[in-house]
């Protein structure tokens, strides 16, 4: 086993192509993506993104004869919302549309004549906001504001069922962010993980996922045709052959993971939490899992050639999933997704200091199974 391991490691580290792919690639990955992402997400020490919405010039046409239409116009024109909306009241839909077309206003809000009765009868109203594509953000904000207003209105209706005056005497608070207010940008909803940490973690997991393809290809190359036959007719045991290759794959993956973490911390000050031992445990566990899976697929791929094609096709998918660019909603099976098994424990630890290694231990047990099946599959068909 040690002969196979030592020789394979020597071969990999001596080969410039392999060295570039295995060690320099992760380095480049973190440098390129890190730089790109730091430009997007990082401003000074705090990773925030500001969005400033200027005052929205608006024309409102109110055909509703009831109180809801009247209150909405009043709400939009209120002193509190003046910073956000510059409201003109239009006389007709045609006139309002012309104003929108000419650019005199940025949006047009139409309140239909049955708005109040619809609210009272169906708890629903059909307000239309017209805008242009280049102002879609503003239109969306107005939509949100009106929707919130509607919800508040209904809530007050319910609360003041026996005292209708309350509704009309209530002052609605400003539901919109004032200009200049910073909006926190976080890619991991519900957590306080920064964007750089998020990609620091996902790039780490991505490089571990690549261990699968690396080991699979290596096993296929080594055990196909004549070279594989030469290994198999030697007196060395199958377990030793397999473990030698497996150990090589794991070592390379651990090296890659360490390079990623080191560079992410060095160049981008990415936080991986206080205890680096935890991160390295995840690196080791991920290396074992993905290399064991690659080992199994490589051994199976010797006999079933289609396996290679399937894995090749899956590499882009693995890149997107493992790299955290997309998340697969696997429903009931989410507990076996890469995101849940390897990324989630790191996020939980970095974000909340919580250590939950159960999914990782499960993956390690699965990895043992993969190795055993790989050893069995490589069994020589010995003559009786």
Partner 1 sequence: MQTVFTGENIQFSYNKKKPVLKQLSLSVGDRQIYGLLGPNGAGKSTLTRVMLGLDKPQNGKIQWFNEHLNASTNKRVGYVPQDLALIYDLSAYENVLFFGKLYGLKGERLKKQVRFALEFVGLWEERKQKPKKFSGGMKRRLNIACGIVHNPDVIILDEPTVGVDPQSRNRILDAIIELNQLGTTVIYISHYMEEVERICSHVGIIDDGQLLCQGKLNDVIQEHTDQAIIRLELQRKSTAYSKQLEDYVVLLAEGNNVELGVPKNDVNAISQIKESFGEDVKNFQYITPNLEQVFFKLTRKNLRD
CB of 342 to partner 1, least distance (A): 31
State which residue, 158 or 226, has the beta carbon closest to partner 1.
226
The alpha carbons of the chain give a radius of gyration, in whole angstroms, of 31
Alpha carbon separation from 298 to 186, 219, 250 (Å, rounded): 39, 5, 15
Extended beta strands in 40-188, E state: 49-50, 56-62, 85-89, 107-111, 128-131, 182-183
- Shortest distance, CB of residue 6 to partner 1, whole angstroms? 9
Cα distance between residue 359 and residue 350, in whole Å = 17
Query: Which of 251, 225, 239 has its CA nearest to residue 23?
Result: 251
Q: How far is the CB of 198 from partner 1 (least distance, A)?
A: 38
Place of tokens 């030698």: 244
DSSP bridge pairs for 129: 109
Nearer to partner 1, 152 or 228 (CB): 228
Query: Residue 26 in contact with residue 207, Cβ under 8 Å?
Result: yes
Query: Which residue is listed with tokens 């690196």?
Result: 283
Choice between 14 and 122, CB closer to partner 1 = 14
Cβ at position 229, least distance to partner 1 in Å: 6
The torsion region of residue 180 among left (phi > 0), alpha (psi -120 to 50) and beta comes to left
Q: Which is nearer to partner 1, 170 or 238 (CB)?
A: 238
DSSP 165: H
Complex with partner 1: residue 19 or 325, whichever CB lies closer: 19
- Four-residue CA torsion sign, 241, 244, 245, 250: positive
Residue 328 has which token pair? 């697969």
Site residues, partner 1 (CB under 8 A) = 3, 7, 10-11, 14-15, 225-227, 229-237, 380-384
The least CB distance from residue 11 to partner 1, in Å, is: 5
| Choice between 5 and 342, CB closer to partner 1 | 5
Q: Counting Cβ atoms within 10 Å, is residue 93 exposed (0-12), middle (13-18) or buried (19+)? A: middle
CB 376 to partner 1: min, Å: 15
Helix (H) or strand (E) holding 384: none
CB of 327: closest distance to partner 1 in angstroms? 39
- Choose between 17 and 365: whose C-beta lies nearer to partner 1: 17
- Residue 15 or 35: which CB sits closer to partner 1? 15
State the nearest-atom distance from the C-beta of 3 to partner 1, in Å.
4
């Amino acid at each position: 086993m040690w002969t196979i391991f030592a020789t394979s490691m020597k071969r990999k580290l001596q080969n410039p192509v392999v060295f570039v792919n295995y060690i320099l690639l992760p380095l480049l990955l973190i440098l390129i993506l890190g730089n790109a992402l730091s430009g997007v997400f990082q401003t000074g020490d705090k990773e925030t993104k500001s969005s400033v919405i200027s005052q929205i010039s608006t024309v409102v046409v109110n055909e509703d004869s009831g109180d809801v239409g009247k209150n909405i116009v009043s709400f939009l024109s209120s002193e509190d919302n003046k910073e956000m909306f510059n409201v003109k009241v239009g006389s007709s839909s045609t006139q309002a549309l012309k104003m929108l077309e000419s650019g005199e206003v940025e949006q047009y809000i139409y309140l239909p004549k049955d708005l109040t009765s619809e609210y009272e009868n169906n708890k629903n109203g059909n307000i239309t906001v017209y805008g242009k594509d280049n102002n879609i953000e503003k239109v969306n904000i107005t939509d949100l504001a009106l929707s919130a207003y509607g919800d508040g209105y209904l809530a007050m209706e319910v609360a003041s069922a026996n005292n209708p005056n309350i509704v009309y005497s209530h002052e609605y608070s400003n539901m919109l962010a004032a200009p200049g207010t910073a909006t926190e940008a976080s890619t991991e909803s519900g957590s306080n993980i920064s964007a750089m940490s998020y990609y620091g973690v996902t790039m780490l997991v991505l490089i571990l996922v690549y261990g699968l393809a690396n080991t699979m290809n290596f096993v296929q190359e080594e055990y196909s045709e004549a070279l594989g036959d030469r290994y198999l007719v030697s007196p060395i045991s199958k377990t030793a052959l397999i473990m030698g290759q497996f150990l090589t794959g794991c070592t390379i993956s651990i090296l890659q993971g360490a390079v990623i973490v080191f560079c992410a911390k060095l160049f981008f000050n990415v936080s991986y939490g206080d205890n680096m031992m935890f991160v390295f445990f995840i690196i080791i566990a991920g290396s074992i899992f993905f290399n064991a899976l690659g080992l199994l697929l490589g051994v199976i791929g010797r006999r079933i050639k289609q396996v290679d094609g399937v894995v090749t096709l899956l590499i882009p998918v693995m890149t997107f999933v493992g790299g955290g660019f997309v998340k697969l909603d696997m429903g009931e099976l989410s507990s076996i997704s890469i995101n849940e098994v390897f990324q989630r424990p790191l996020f939980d630890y970095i974000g909340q200091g919580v250590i939950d290694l159960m999914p990782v231990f499960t993956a390690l047990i699965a990895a043992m199974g993969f190795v055993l099946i790989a050893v069995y599959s490589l069994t020589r068909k010995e003559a009786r």
